[in-house]
Structure 1
Amino acid sequence: MQESFELQLQQIADAAPKILGAMLALLVLVIAGKIVSNTLSKLLTGRQAKTVKQTRLLKRLVGWGFNLLGIILALNILGLTQAATGFLAAGGVMAVVLGFAFREIGENLLAGLFLSFSRSFDVGDVIESNGIRGVVERIEVREVHIRTGDGCDIFIPSAIIYKNPLHNFTRDGLRRGDFTIGIDYGDDPQKARELLLEVAKTSDFILSTPAPAVQISGFTPTYVELQVFFWINTFNENPGLVSVKSLVMNACHKKLAEEGFTFSSNVTTAVDMLPVDVNVRSKNSSQGDSV
């Protein structure tokens, strides 16, 4: 009995380095998992509570992944290779099953992670993706919240934005606006261009670089069409593009009206109807007059 006890002590002493190594490997990976998950949580956590909840779930998933890796490594160090292989195989099968079951969710989560590290847009930018245009209100792991011009809130899955072309209209702060105006064929289009360009250059909130431009864009059956282009800086606390466009259009209309130009809405081919007096006589009264 004493010999059996001494033999067990000897076996424990021989296995002590492996046990310590396995415990150390497991501890290191658990600590590494906490560090990585906390760092990732800080990178993705926003000010809104909903974002915090989603990043908390992602933090747990990353921590579980490191813990699983630590268990497998510890089993290999202890010499339990078959157990580690079986554990890994079971985890792989479970991962495949969950991957097929939650493919879209996982795809959106991965796309959200990639967008977080290499973000081509930010909150407040005007973007368009998959035919949807609006202002970015919030960026989350699974989806991006944008608000369209008519006040509709749309939540686009991150995978759609990541896989499709993205149009960012305000990344560098420059935004271009344009509008068209028609004048009569009897008016001088070159003079109209000069007047419109003068108004655009002297208007508030319009940038001098890139410079505004005015061009003849077409000839319709009733009027000559002029198109005005201008740029604004969205980084400044100025009115938006719609407001600036309205101000410029009003100034251009006023200037051309002062110079006597005829606008397309005033060009008409209507014929003025003059009043005509018609006397109606009966047949009998006509005969009486003849007698």
Structure 2
Amino acid sequence: MDTQNVYELITGKLEGWLTAAIEMLPNLVLALLIIVAFYVLAKVIRKLVSNMLSRVTDNKTVTGLAETVLAVLVLGIGLFFALSILNLDGTVTSLLAGAGIIGLALGFAFQDIAANFIAGVLLSIRHPFGIGDIIETNGLFGTVEKLNLRNTIIRTPQGQYMYVPNKVVYENPFTNYTKTGKRRIDLACGVSYGDDLEKAKDIAVETLSSLDLRDESKDVEFYYNEFGDSSINFSIRFWINYNRQPDYWGAQSEAIMALKKAYDDNDIMIPFPIRTLDFGIRGGEKLNTVMDTNK
């Protein structure tokens, strides 16, 4: 093949490409306009989603993620339309098939990460607890320090940080102690069988009713609940305003000290377990007989 033939081949190819480009120019302009239109639409949708989610959750990470995902989805739809206008349907089909295969593979490979991610989004939207709330979940107790898209970070009363997967929190029961701002303290105690039960009840109720830390909107509750080995046992309950764990510990400690002092001042005994040793069991010898024999 000589130089002239090569030149003619190249110029022929270029002319063909130029002719095809000129013929496709209207479609190319239309495709670009579609991409620009979907880009503007993505920005509008992103702003609308931001305004809507800001009313549902304060988690900026979740809001930003939702905005980005929807914006990319809208731009992807615009790109597929543009490719279709350019008669690149085969490319669109290949892209969709490839995206499906990749998505399926990633779903199997990162199913735990995906589960924690989805659980984090749902926890942020439903908002069963917030930063600073005191919760207990799966035997773990502490203050919520942060909720991200993978973990719920809890600080224990001892100061340690625990990273709990969001899926574990979402799928299992948990208790939010600060949701209502109030908490009940239950104290178990007992009085001796020789004491006046009515008097013991009145003194206990009056004593705990005068505590400064008690929530005065709710009455003190007192119930005898069993005949114990060495005492008649009861439960006494009262409510406090609860925002942090020291509120609970402090009120409980003050109640125990006040109840003990009130019973001491009124000669009411809180008995401790008593064990009687009987050496005169049937089939054996009495202790006094053994001692007399050894003299």
TM over 0.5: yes
Q: Distance in 1 between matches of 2:277 and 2:264?
A: 21
State whether residues 205 and 244 of structure 1, in contact with CA within 8 Å, keep that contact through their aligned partners in structure 2.
yes
Alpha-carbon shift at residue 26 of structure 1 (Å):
4.5
Alpha-carbon shift at residue 72 of structure 1 (Å):
2.4
Paired residue for 2:271, among 243, 255, 264?
264
Alpha-carbon shift at residue 177 of structure 1 (Å):
0.8
State whether residues 30 and 70 of structure 1, in contact with CA within 8 Å, keep that contact through their aligned partners in structure 2.
no
Overall identity of the aligned pairs, in %: 28
Q: CA distance change for structure 1 residues 15 and 55 in 2, over 3 Å: closer, same or farther?
A: closer
Give secondary structure in 2 for the equivalent of 1:264: coil
Alpha-carbon shift at residue 25 of structure 1 (Å):
4.3
Alpha-carbon shift at residue 167 of structure 1 (Å):
1.6
State whether residues 145 and 156 of structure 1, in contact with CA within 8 Å, keep that contact through their aligned partners in structure 2.
yes
Q: CA distance change for structure 1 residues 126 and 4 in 2, over 3 Å: closer, same or farther?
A: closer
Alpha-carbon shift at residue 137 of structure 1 (Å):
1.9
Q: CA distance change for structure 1 residues 77 and 212 in 2, over 3 Å: closer, same or farther?
A: farther
Alpha-carbon shift at residue 94 of structure 1 (Å):
0.6
Paired residue for 2:229, among 204, 218, 221?
221
Q: Distance in 2 between matches of 1:203 and 1:6?
A: 92
Cα deviation code 1:27-62 (max 9, x no counterpart): 2365357647977799423xxxxxx7x987887666
Q: Distance in 2 between matches of 1:23 and 1:167?
A: 49
Paired residue for 2:119, among 84, 108, 111?
111
TM-score, normalised via structure 1 length: 0.76
In structure 1, stretches of 5+ residues that fail to align are: 46-51, 272-277, 282-291
Give secondary structure in 2 for the equivalent of 1:100: helix
Q: Distance in 2 between matches of 1:43 and 1:88?
A: 35
Where does residue 187 of structure 1 map in the other structure?
A: 195
1:23 and 2:35 correspond: yes
Map 1:1-291 onto structure 2 (within 5 A). Answer: 8=20, 11-16=23-28, 18-28=30-40, 31=43, 35=47, 43-45=58-60, 64-235=72-243, 239-265=246-272
Q: Please, what is the CA RMSD of the aligned residues? A: 3.6
In structure 2, stretches of 5+ residues that fail to align are: 1-11, 279-291
Q: CA distance change for structure 1 residues 64 and 19 in 2, over 3 Å: closer, same or farther?
A: closer
Q: CA distance change for structure 1 residues 20 and 153 in 2, over 3 Å: closer, same or farther?
A: closer
Moved more, 138-147 or 87-96: 138-147
